Amino acid sequence: MPTYKGVEVWLEDSEKRKLNHEHVAIDLVNDNPVTLKARTKMHRDELYTVHCLTPISIFCDVFVTVRSGVRQCAARFHIEKSLSISDNALGSSEGHTEYKYKDMGLRAPKRCFQQGKLATVEVEIRRTAPIIKEEPTEDHAVDEDEQDALVFSMIDDFDRPPWLLFVFDVTAKGPPNGFITPNAPQVAKQVLRKVHRKQASSTGGIPSTRSTCPSDETPRPDQNLPDIPRASSSLQREYEKEEAEERRLLEILLARLDAKRTSNMELRRLLGETA
């Protein structure tokens, strides 16, 4: 998981399972802020949450960029270390979503806006000073609700870059719902059935045999009937030839469909780069 100075950030799916991360990289050259980047995959239209484990008190802002290209604040939450009984404090975006995400929650889009990319999730982290419990005074009595209220001050101000930045590039896992892959065996079978029907209609369903009667005689109906053993072996050869043709056509079909799918993916990539 992406970690820096004990601060760890990750995403969880709707089943509370940690999403695997790939290609974790850290940018220490431009240290304002220190940036950690990772890639992860999730299903389209799936709910997810952002989680953070930290040894210090921090404030987290979660921003999401989707197909529209607009970077929107999706959640904000504070993690206070002094309230944790362990060495690290845990917090998440659950119950702390903002704006439109209050009703819909953090949810992966249904459509990609780049080559397989669903969204970019950024977590800005700023350090906070220890909390100050509000004490009652002669002019103000602290009630039970206020007694639990936390007052904290920022070490890293909001008008300055964050202390840490975690960036997650989220790509789609699996095809869209209802999508049938182009090289599905059902498609190939349908094409082969059409080929068989055309071949059968062109040959009348039975391989033609020449009449053995002289040309100057009018053939009797039974003279056109082939010898049974000879017809059987001929049908066997035709059947084997058709099987070989079927395999050849299937290989050609699958190769063409695979090439078309590769071409479509390359076109989407080029369109994403020029957008």
Whether the per-residue pLDDT at 99 is higher than 60: the answer is yes
Nearest CA-CA partner of 62 in 29, 20, 38, 94: 94
Specify the higher pLDDT residue, 76 or 183: 76
Residue 182 has pLDDT above 90, yes or no: no
Say which residues have a Cβ less than 8 Å from residue 37's Cβ, sequence separation at least 6.
2, 23, 24, 25, 26, 27, 167, 168, 169
The answer on pLDDT for 157 being more than 70 is: yes
Q: With bands split at pLDDT 50, 70 and 90, how would you rate the model's confidence at 162?
A: very high
What are 268's two structure tokens? 């989407």
Is the N-terminal amide bond of 161 cis, ω within 30° of 0? no
**pLDDT tens across 196-214, in order?**
776 666 655 544 444 444 4
Distance CA 189, CA 138 (A): 86
Check residues 147 and 82 and name the one with the higher pLDDT. 82
Contact predicate 109/78, CB 8 Å:
no
Share of the chain above pLDDT 90, in %: 32
| CA nearest to 195, candidates 250, 237, 135, 149 | 250
User: Average pLDDT in the 31-38 region?
Assistant: 85
Question: Residue 228 pLDDT more than 60?
Answer: no
166's enclosing H/E stretch is strand 164-172
- Tokens 């078309």 locate to 260
Tokens in use for 112?
């990609």
